[in-house]
Amino acid sequence: METSGAVIGKALNESSDVLLVAGVIGDATVLNSLPDYAPWPCLVCPVHWVSLVRGWNPNLYFLRAEPAAELLALLRYALAHLRVRRLGFMYLQGDYFGDREYAQAQRVMSGMGYELSGVFVGSSVTGGARKEVFDAAWEAFAETRPQAVIVFGLPINDTVEFVRRMLTDRRTAGAYLLAPVMLQELVLRVWRAAVAGGVEFVPGQVITTGTNPLAKDTQYEAIQRFQEVMRAYLTHSGRKYYADKDHFLKDDVDGGMMVWVDCWRGALTGAGQS
């Protein structure tokens, strides 16, 4: 399905009495589509990650917490639950994901009389940092010996390299790594690779935000019902990729996404969760 603003605008011009429900994926796509949505009655349910997309718009219905809320949750967890005194922060300078969150983190920390112990500022998304620049920034950051680090960089090579070094450099290997749900797949992938390479596995060392309970979190009645329906679907769907009817219990990332999609379906149809 084409979801560009131009295509949708053309369709709405041809049938102006329709109600548009568009599951737009990606920040750039959402931003580019907004001018075409504006004149029409429509419900847009975007999957997006950056703060720039947020703001009041009668045509937008958000299904995820905004990055600012994720950051506050991570700060609270690091300071109130983990109770660390040396909290570091990583972001990509000049990008649309990280700059605002870094400024917010500074404001929140300052309001409590704290400050970040170290900040790693990487390159922008337009190009990776030169090795010597990245190495120098890393050395300065690692010497602060952070107890926990919040990562707010787009899922690109510089962020991958930062997470890898976090888990393998002796100065940072014992620190907690906290990230928004956007980076969940990335940090788990790099963490698994580091453990496979000999890094000690420490349960609870990597922490990410989430938008819903895990598929195995049966303290919720909705999750109990979800498991019944999803098992039945995977058993009879004929799909080869998810041949195991209990796949969602063995892969937390896939399982979480399945639960989220089920919540999305309920929000759009008013049917309630499976």
Give the Cα separation of 223 and 255 in Å (integer): 11
Domain contains 215: no
pLDDT tens digits for range 158-186? 999 999 999 999 999 999 999 998 898 89
* Same-domain check for residues 22 and 116: no
User: How high is the pLDDT of residue 174?
Assistant: 95
Domain contains 213: no
pLDDT at residue 241 greater than cutoff 70: yes
pLDDT at residue 70 greater than cutoff 60: yes
* Same-domain check for residues 76 and 201: yes
* Same-domain check for residues 35 and 75: no
Number of domains in the chain: 3
* Between 33 and 157, residue with greater pLDDT: 157
Is the Cα torsion angle 216, 212, 100, 28 positive or negative in sign?
positive
* Same-domain check for residues 49 and 71: no
Domain contains 59: no
Q: Which of 70, 62, 63 has the alpha carbon at shortest distance from 260?
A: 63
* Same-domain check for residues 101 and 185: yes
DSSP letters, 220-251, are SHHHHHHHHHHHHHHHHS--STT-STTHHHH-
* Same-domain check for residues 155 and 241: no
Mean pLDDT of 216-239: 87
Domain contains 260: yes
pLDDT at residue 86 greater than cutoff 70: yes
* Same-domain check for residues 108 and 40: no
pLDDT at residue 236 greater than cutoff 90: no
User: How high is the pLDDT of residue 270?
Assistant: 52
CATH code, domain with 91: 3.40.50.2300
Which residue segment(s) compose the domain that 47 sits in? 5-53
Domain contains 91: yes
